[in-house]
A and B are shown apart, each in its own frame.
Chain A
Amino acid sequence: MFKILTKQELAPNVKMFEMDAPLIARKAQPGQFVILRIDEDGERVPLTIADFNREKGTITLIFQEVGGTTQLLGKLNEGESILDLVGPLGKPTHIENFGTVVCVGGGIGIAPVYPIARGMKEAGNNVVSIIGARSKDILIYEEEMAAVSNTLHITTDDGSAGHKGFVTDPLKQMLESGEKIGLVVAIGPVIMMRNVAETTRPYGVPTVVSLNPIMVDGTGMCGGCRVSVGNENKFACVDGPEFDAHKVDFAGLVTRQRMYKPQEKSHSEHCANHGKGGCQCHSH
C-alpha cells in the first residue's frame, strides 16, 4: 500500500498528491513516470512524476479528473492509500548544458515539465519556460516554474493571465528573433505538442515531446503504447516516453488515444454511481 501524505487542489479538478514511495523517490529522474492502481479492481494508470524528494522518500503526482479512475483517485484523502505504485518507469530526460532550453508546458502537462526545467537549470542552461492553460483558474505551478526558469512566459487562451494566445506564440517570437535555442521540451495535450513541433520544424531546433499513450504494464510487455516515430514503431513505456517531436506520428497517436472513448464514459458513470473510495460494489 502507498500512502497519500498530502493532498492539494491546484485548480478545479486538478489534484496533487504527495505519495510515500521511498523506493521510487530514490531512483526517480525528470521525465520518468509511474503506474498506479487504486484497488483490486482498478486499472493501471500511468502518471508522470511531477516531483520527487529523495530525503523524504516521496514523489508528487498531479492529475486531472477526466475519467472514472482519476475521479476515484481525486476522492481519496490524506492518510488513505492506494494499492499499487510502480516505477520509476521510462527513460529519464537527457539533461546536459544545451545553452538555452525552452520548456513548454500546457495544462496539466506543466507538472511534468517542472522537474525537467529544474534539471536543465541545474545543468547550467538558460531556461526559458512557457506555460499555458485555457484560463487563469486552471493554470498550475506558476510559482514553481518561475523559481526554476530564467525567463517565464505565461499564456492563456482567454487572456485571463499573461499573454492571450497559445504557448507557441512566445516560442515563435524567440525563433523569429533568431535567438539561439539548443533544445525545446514540450509536454501537454497532443495538439499542443504537435503545434510546438510544427513551430520549431522550419528552424531545425531539436524538440522533444513526452507522450502519454494508452498503456497497461508500462514495462514493454503489451505493446499497447506503440507509436510510430520516424516510421518505426516504438514503445512509449520503455523506448520513451520522450521522443524527437519532428518524427512522431501525432495523427496516429490521437487516433489510438480514442480507442476506449465509449468505455471511458461507461466506466466514469459506473464510478460516479458507485461512490467513494473506489469501486466497492465488487469488493473481494
Chain B
Amino acid sequence: MSLSLEKHKMPEQEPKVRAKNFSEVALGYTAEIAKAEADRCLSCKAAPCRQGCPVGVDIPAFIKHIKENDLDAAITSIKNVNGLPAVCGRVCPQEEQCEKHCVLGKKGESVGIGRLERYAADYARHKGEVVEKVKYAADAKKVAVIGSGPAGLSAAGTLAKLGYKVTIFEALHAPGGVLMYGIPEFRLPKEIVQAEINNLRKMGVEIAVNAVIGKTFTVDELMEEEGFSAVFIGSGAGLPHFMGVPGENLNGVYSANEFLTRCNLMKAYKFPECGTPIHVGKKVAVVGGGNVAMDGARTALRLGAEEVYIVYRRSENELPARREEVHHAKEEGIEFKLLTAPLEVMGNEEGWVTGLKCIKMELGEPDASGRRRPVEIPGSEFVLDVDTVIIAIGQGPNPLVQSTTKGLDSNKKGNIIASDETGATSKPGVFAGGDVVTGAATVILAMGAGKKAAAAIDEYLTAKK
C-alpha cells in the first residue's frame, strides 16, 4: 500500500466567497476522503499521538473504527473521554498536540487526526445523538460549576456521568463562554456549540444563565446556603488588556472581546433587525498576532471592511496564531504588517479614529520567553491610515469570583492558584481550571483541566462521605 505523504485536504469555501459570509470556512471531509485519510494511519502500537492529547483520546482506536466504517464505535470511543469532539476537531491546535507526535510527520504530514475527529463528531450530530439522562442516587450531591466555557462544560459533563447533580452558572444570557462570544461562526458554528450544550442538559445538567457569581451569588453562598458540596471555577480569561498608548479611548477603538462579542453573541451583523450595533469602518487595524487577532480581522472583513491589517511587533515565525488561521487570513486578503508596533491611536476633533501611528521593529536578543525581542528602529515611525482599531493583545482573568470568595488565593496576575493535577485551590471543596488558572490558553487545555478537576471533586466528595 502506498501512502500519501500529505494529509487529505479538507474542502473549503473559496476565499473570495467566504470573505463575504459567516458560514463555516472548512466544509469537512466526505466519507470517501475520511476513509482514505484514516487509511493513512499506521495503527502503530506505540501510538505517540496519544501523549499529545490533553484529554487522552484513544486516537488509533477511533481511527481504526473509521477505517472499518464503524462510525458509531468511532464517536463512542472519542466521547468516552472528550465531551466536545465537534468543537475540538475544529479549534484544537492539533499541529501542536496529537499530530505533532504522529510517526508519519517525520517524513511527510501527520495523519489529519483533528479532521477525522470532526468527521466522526459531525456524523453523530447529523444522525441525532441519543443522550441518556443520568440516574441520580437519592443522596446524589450537588456540584456548582462557574462558567460555561470549555472548562466548565467539560467538568459538568464528567461530573454528571459520575452521578453528581450539576448546575452551571453562566453570567451571560447564553451558555458556551468563549465558544459563543469569542470564536466566530465561520470557525465554529454556534449551532454545534448549542447542540453540545443541549446534550449536557439532556443528561440532567442544569444551566442557570444571567447568574453572575460574585454578584448574584457568591461561592460561599453556593456552599453554605444553596447546598452545593463542591464548586468548580472555570470563569476563563475574559478581562481584555489594552495597550496603554494615547488615543485608546477614541471612538472606533475596540477590544477584540467587545468587537467579537458584538458580532458573535449579539449578532450585530444583523443590525438593525438585532438591536446591537457595531462600527466596522473601511480600514481596520487589528493589533496582535494570536488566534483572537485573526478572528477579529476576518470578522471585520466579513462585516464589510475594505482593508484589514494585522499589526504585530514580532515576525511571522513568532505569530502565536495557528498556521492554518494565518493561512486562511492571508488567503482572504488580510494584510500583515509584521515587525510593527503601535505607538498611538490618532483621532480627529470629534473623537474618532483617523490612523494608527506605528514604528518598525527589528529582532534583537532572545527575551525571557526565548523569542527574539523586538527592538524599535529609530526614525521609522509611520501612520497607518485606518478608521477602526481592534486590540487583541490578550486577556486576563476576570476578578469577580476571586475578589468575593473568602480564602481563595490568586497570584499577582489575578489567576487562581490551583493544582495542575487536581485543580484543588486554597479553599476546601473549591476547584478551578482553564484560563482562570493558566491565563489565556486553548480550548482543549481548559477541557483537560475541567476533566481532571471533576475526577478530583469525585475523589474529594467520596472521601468526605
A89–B275 contact, CB under 8 A? no
B272 touches A270 (CB 8 A): yes
Provide the residues of chain A in CB contact with B73, threshold 8 Å.
none
A96 within 8 A of B: no
Query: A88–B210 Cα gap in the complex (Å)?
Result: 10
User: On chain B, which size bracket covers the interface?
Assistant: 35 or more
Does B258 count as interface, using CB distance less than 8 angstroms? yes
**Interface residues of A, dominant DSSP:** mixed
Task: List A contacts of B254 (CB < 8 A).
Answer: 224
Q: Mark B204-240, 1 if CB is under 8 A from A, else 0.
A: 0000011110011100000000000000000000111
Q: From A53-61, A155-163, A169-177, A251-259, give the one contacting chain B.
A: A251-259
User: Of the 9-residue stretches B39-47, B261-269, B377-385, B447-455, which lies at the interface with chain A?
Assistant: B261-269
Residue B456 CB within 8 A of the other chain: no
| Set of chain A residues within 8 Å of B80, measured between Cβ atoms | none
Given A221-B398, A226-B249, A233-B249, A216 contacting B262 (CB threshold 8 A): yes
Contact B242 A220 (CB under 8 A): no
Q: Is A281 an interface residue (CB 8 A)?
A: yes
Interface residue tally for chain A (C-beta within 8 Å):
46
Q: Give the CA-CA distance A279 to B274 in the complex, in Å.
A: 8
- A216 near B258 with CB under 8 A, answer yes
Residue B400 at the A interface, CB < 8 A?
yes
Q: Say yes or no: B276 contacts A43, CB within 8 Å.
A: yes
A247 contacts partner chain B, Cβ-Cβ < 8 Å: no
Contact of A223 among B240, B270, B400 (CB under 8 A): B240
**A73 → B minimal CB distance (Å):** 11
Q: Chain A residues with Cβ under 8 A from B181's Cβ?
A: 221
**Interface-forming stretch among A7-15, A79-87, A122-130, A196-204?**
A79-87
- Partner of A221 from the list B239, B249, B274, B275 (CB cut-off 8 Å) is B239
- Decide: A222 near B261, CB < 8 A? Known: A84-B173, A86-B212: yes
Q: What residues of B have a CB within 8 angstroms of the CB of A88 in the complex?
A: 215-216
Q: Is the CB of A259 within 8 A of B279?
A: yes
Hey, which chain A residues are within 8 Å of B351, CB to CB?
252, 255-256, 258
Chain B, range 175-222, C-beta contacts under 8 Å to A: 181, 209-212, 215-217
Q: Which of A27, A41, A87, A270 contacts B267 (CB 8 A)?
A: A41
Contacts of B272 in A (CB 8 A): 68, 263, 266-267, 269-271
CB distance from B400 to the nearest CB of A (A): 6
Q: How far is the CA of A85 from the CA of B215 in the complex (A)?
A: 13
Task: Known A41-B270, A84-B209, A256-B249; judge A264-B277 contact (CB<8 A).
Answer: yes
Taking A88-B216, A263-B279 as known contacts, 18 extra A-B pairs with beta carbons closer than 8 A to each other, sorted by chain A number, are A23-B217, A68-B272, A84-B210, A86-B216, A87-B215, A217-B172, A221-B257, A222-B258, A223-B240, A223-B242, A223-B258, A224-B254, A224-B255, A227-B249, A233-B248, A238-B399, A260-B279, A267-B277
15 contacts between A and B (CB under 8 A): A41-B270, A85-B210, A88-B215, A216-B261, A220-B398, A221-B261, A224-B254, A258-B251, A258-B350, A260-B277, A263-B279, A264-B277, A267-B271, A270-B273, A281-B273
